[in-house]
């Protein structure tokens, strides 16, 4: 299975400050169609996971533009330009390129 | 708008069989594979398996001997059964829309059910 390694696992952030979460895959996530199937999910307390970003950097409908995704080789990054109180929760990366699909361990974002 | 609504028993004893069902509202049921994913306490999300409207299934190798996913196309529902549960199967279980049915489609999980906490305890 492709291993997805996230860091940090805990991320205390001051309101209004930027935040960054890293995710490294154990192998390339570029599929034969040229796309890279790396998604980011947000799970707020008491809620189901919600997809924020798909194919590395495409934001889902309704996702604020303070969220962005990028890639460098097998390293992926989710950035929040200015953290707001509603961003508290656990963030997961997920690869959908290889079977079986696998998730990172999760990064818990909290407000300092 | 696609909505997934799931239900099932939340408290089981060791060796019993977990049973959950997920109903899909809106969108095209036949155009996708439908997945079950679980979140054990203190751990990450784990994809368990998937099914399409024709009943074609794929299971995670680590669970293959205990998992059965079935489909009821007349009601746009799919179900999960996990046999011989132990405390290690305690988790929140989610149903989710996985990938489209074309062979080239990859996993997405763009819509999720509300989750069901299943606790295994004697």
**Measured between alpha carbons, how far is A22 from A12 in angstroms, rounded to an integer?**
15
**Measured between alpha carbons, how far is B34 from B91 in angstroms, rounded to an integer?**
19
DSSP state of A86: G
Tell me the average pLDDT across B86-107. Answer: 94
pLDDT at B102 over 90: no
Q: pLDDT band at B117, cuts 50/70/90?
A: very high
Q: Is B13 on the interface with A (CB under 8 A)?
A: no
Contact A48 B104 (CB under 8 A): no
Best interface-test mutation with A: which of B59, B109, B113 has the largest number of A CBs within 10 A?
B109
Tell me the average pLDDT across A21-38. Answer: 97
Q: Is B108 on the interface with A (CB under 8 A)?
A: yes
- Residues in chain A within 8 Å Cβ distance of B115: 48
Q: pLDDT band at A105, cuts 50/70/90?
A: very high
Instruction: Tell me the two tokens of residue B65.
Output: 């001997």
* pLDDT for the residue numbered B103: 81
pLDDT at A108 over 90: yes
State the CB neighbour count (10 A cutoff) for residue A65.
7
Q: Where are the beta strands (DSSP E) in A17-60?
A: 19-25, 38-43, 50-54, 58-59
pLDDT at A74 over 90: yes
Contact A103 B112 (CB under 8 A): no
Query: Which of B46, B60, B114 lies at the smallest CB-CB distance from A48?
Result: B114
Tell me the average pLDDT across A48-60. Answer: 97
* Spacing of C-alpha B77 from chain mean position: 11
Q: pLDDT band at B104, cuts 50/70/90?
A: confident
Q: Residues of B numbered 67-106 whose beta carbons fall under 8 angstroms of chain A's beta carbons: which are they?
A: 94, 98-99, 104, 106
pLDDT at B97 over 90: yes
Say which range, A9-18, B24-33, B99-108, has the weakest mean pLDDT.
B99-108
Q: pLDDT band at A76, cuts 50/70/90?
A: very high
């Amino acid at each position: 299975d492709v291993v997805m390694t996230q860091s940090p696992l805990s991320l205390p952030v001051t309101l209004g400050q930027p935040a960054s979460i890293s995710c490294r895959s154990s192998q390339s996530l570029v599929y034969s169609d040229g796309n890279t199937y790396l998604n980011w999910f947000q799970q707020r307390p008491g809620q189901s996971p919600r997809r924020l970003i798909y194919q590395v950097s495409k934001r889902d409908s309704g996702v604020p533009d303070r969220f962005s995704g990028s890639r460098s080789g097998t390293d992926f990054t989710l950035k929040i330009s200015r953290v707001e109180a509603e961003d508290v929760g656990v963030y997961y990366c997920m690869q959908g390129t290889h079977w079986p699909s696998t998730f990172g361990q999760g990064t818990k974002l909290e407000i300092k | 708008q696609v909505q997934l609504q799931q239900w099932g028993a939340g408290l089981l004893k060791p060796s019993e069989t977990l049973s959950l069902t997920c109903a899909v509202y809106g969108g095209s049921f036949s155009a996708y594979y439908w997945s079950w994913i679980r979140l054990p306490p203190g751990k990450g999300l784990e994809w368990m398996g998937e099914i399409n409207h024709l009943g074609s299934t794929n299971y995670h190798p680590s669970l293959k001997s205990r998992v059965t996913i079935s489909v009821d196309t007349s009601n746009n529902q799919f179900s999960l059964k996990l046999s011989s549960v132990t405390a290690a199967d305690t988790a929140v279980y989610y149903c989710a829309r996985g990938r489209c049915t074309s062979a080239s489609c990859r996993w997405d999980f763009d819509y999720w059910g509300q989750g069901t906490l299943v606790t295994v305890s004697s």
